[in-house]
Structure 1
Amino acid sequence: MLPLQHTEQKDKYVKTAARSKKKTFLEDQASEAQEAAYRGDTQILYRITRDLSRANSIQPSTVKDEHGKLIAKLEDQCARLANHFQTILNRLDPEMPAHIQGKEKEKRNEERSYQMFKIEKAIAKSESNRATGEDRITVDRLKEDPSLSAKCLFNKVWSKEKVPNDCNKGILIKLSKKVDLYQYKSWRGIKLLSVPGKILNTSGS
């Protein structure tokens, strides 16, 4: 018969190894889901989300606030998670914002043609079957007529000299990255951005 101390050490080792393997598994699943979201592979993204939801079905859905107190109301939980994701995902405004100076009509027309060419080129290089954002505009839809799509996107930005708000909005998918799901820091977010917004960023418009 094994001594009690030896048994306790073995038990502690097994529990530690199990926690470590579970943590590694969840992190691998989250990374795979993030890559699937980038590729627009909604089938793999759905499977991983479904499997993780089943695996953590025994875990409570509540989270704790910054003081370690459980948040009971659903709207308070959503507000806490929204604040957490805003903190880790949003970037600060640049210290020196871009200043657009007035240009001659001819020069603006030349720049307009060049920017439209870059947008059309970015549309052609975009991969098909990617996940869409809140506007549900797909790459395939823009590729049906790249010239017309580039013109519409450019005019939408050129008239207001800023990227429309709908291009900056995205769908946030919540995934766990740690075992303790009570902690709001145990969650990571994958943001599905607008396809036109990503094309404008790629083209530098």
Structure 2
Amino acid sequence: MSKVTRFSRASLSVMPWKNGGGTTQEIASWPQGAALDSFGWRVSIATIAAAGPFSVFPGIARSIMLLEGDGVRLFTHDGRIEHRLDMPHRPFAFSGDDAIDCTLLGGASNDFNVMTRHGQWRADVRVLGHAAAIEPAPHGVLLALRGAWRLNDETCREGEGLHWADAPRTWQAMPESEDARLVAVRIVPA
């Protein structure tokens, strides 16, 4: 049985971006310790503090979701993508092959990011506000976005979560308040 790892947003390492426009806190990646050009999947939280281009990740499917802040406008210069990421807890999927640019809609924002390598993995990203059974997945991440959640035998409060790799896990998610929200990321073979 795989090991489940607890994490807290408050204790994740903060890595500045090379372009100075923000920071990233990696929650988990697989294989563990893989570089940005060799991961199979990666889940992180980013702080976008300045307008500018997103890094291009060829062969990667991406999903981004606003956690806190005013949000950003995501766009391509050829007009194919035009999206306001200004509503919290609504995932937006796009290709890492696209040259995405962004402008701030106000101050800095925090965003939840999921990346999977085409042909290897795909991610199902859902935000839950009610009790639910989360189908088995060999890899995944659960993060309490608001309120506290009972996840099988574990309790995660806002900003806390669990991740696992390399063995199927099934979860029973039970909110402890009406306004509770949980992001559930199931990562399965492509």
Same structural fold, with TM-score higher than 0.5 when normalized by the shorter chain: no
TM-score for the superposition, normalised by structure 1: 0.21
Where is the strand percentage greater, Structure 1 or Structure 2?
A: 2
Higher helix share: 1
TM-score, length of structure 2 as denominator length: 0.22
- Larger RCO (CA under 8 A, 6+ residues apart): 1
